[in-house]
Structure 1
């Protein structure tokens, strides 16, 4: 098998490429470990699930969080993914001068159907490596919620799989219990 050399990009180079117009801001792309990846198009079920989660957290947490929907986050100097939803620590500037970083994130959520393998096997280890405390992966194919907690080097020590009959307690920024039938189909 022939392995071709790849060009890795730093975050600054990535932003320069976008600013130059080579890659437009409306392209569905993200920078992960220095490589530019094209993101899967968002289907109806995916979009609906993101809206349901956004509505649920806005209803339950209000001004205690800033909810980022499909916005970039800066993990390090060569990774700027665009998770489906993040619960962020409130800031007066609403992150106007920089993208949120791991220490700003209470919870990160990915919703996946066609991208399930990419999210589970590629992005989640990178989130662990960058110390995102809690990640949820909504698996639309299996109608499950995977909860990842306690990040180690490039994996999460605690992983739970939950279904629509289950409920889940979120502890940050405050304790709330969520019935998963409000999220899962």
Structure 2
């Protein structure tokens, strides 16, 4: 019979105190997922290029209608503070200096994946759904596709679409911002 080990889960507050105490440094690529400190993998050039394309496209087309947040923390609950590749946020004059964005502040989360596709599908996307994030896009660089997740419930997203090259997509919050899948994937 396998031995069950008890794991110590951390809160967002404890996670921040570890950084303040120097236990976690700014150079460490980690995020808090369901109470566990998870190491993030290095970013490949293809991944970075895709994120840069999103930055340019969203910044040009959305202007002041949204803040384009890049690989910054979002506080989903008291045990999860992931760092999605892109988050489109409600505009705020303080640019979230008073605290990280929370689900009510988020229009869209974009996760770009080449080596982490399954982890994003099985861990992060259900976490976003359970937190009420209205829309998530998973960019699968290897498959050259974009999965769109909408209508969150505690059990997951109810509306899931897979978009391929040649198709156009738009964020639910900004239907007028049409993006060609080809311009996102490069």
Query: Which residue number in structure 1 is paired with residue 112 of structure 2?
Result: 111
- Please report how far the alpha carbon of residue 124 of structure 1 lies from its aligned counterpart in structure 2 after TM superposition: 0.3
Structure 1 unaligned blocks of 5 or more: none
Q: TM-score normalized by structure 1?
A: 0.97
2:98 corresponds to: 97
Cα RMSD of the aligned pairs, angstroms, is 1.0
Which segments of structure 1 move beyond 2 Å, counting only runs of 4 or more? Answer: none
Tell me the matched-pair count.
185
Q: Aligned partners of 2:72 and 2:10: how far apart in 1? A: 20
Judge which range, 26-35 or 126-135, deviates more: 26-35
Instruction: Report the CA distance between 1:177 and its aligned residue.
Output: 1.3
Does the 8 A contact of 2:73 with 2:84 survive in 1? Answer: yes
User: Structure 2: how far apart are the matches of 1:8 and 1:46?
Assistant: 30
Q: Which residue of structure 2 aligns with residue 145 of structure 1?
A: 146
CA distance 1:171–1:124, change in 2 (3 Å): closer
Shift of 1:172: 1.3
| Cα displacement (A) at 1:80 | 0.2
Are the equivalent residues in 2 in contact too, given 1:64–1:173 (CA < 8 A)?
Answer: no
Q: Provide TM-score, normalisation by structure 2.
A: 0.96
